[in-house]
Structure 1
Amino acid sequence: MTLGALILAITVHEFSHVAMARFLGDKTGEQLGRLTLDPFKHIDPIWTVALPAILIVASASTGAGVPIFAAGKPSPYNPNYLKRRFFGKELATRTAECWVALAGPLSNLLFASLCLLGVKYGGYEWAGLFQPFILLNISLFVFNLIPVPPLDGAKVLLAFLPHEAARKYELLAPQLSWFLLIALIFGGGTVVGYGVRMVLWGISWLLI
Structure 2
Amino acid sequence: MIEGSSGPLHDKTHEDSAGDAIRVAGATGHENPASRDARATLRWRLRQDTRDEHEALDAMLADCDVATAPGLAAFLAVQADALARLAPICADGATRRFVIDLLAAARTDLRALGVVDPEPAGTDTATSAFDGVPAPRMLDPLAVDYVIFGSRLGNTVMHRHWSATADPAARQAGRFLSLPVPADGWRGLTARLSAMPATGVDADRTICDARAVFALYGRAAVARRAEVYRASA
> TM-score under structure 2 normalisation?
0.27
Query: Does 1 or 2 have the higher relative contact order (CA < 8 Å, sep 6+)?
Result: 2
> TM-score under structure 1 normalisation?
0.29
Q: Normalized per residue, which structure has more helix?
A: 1
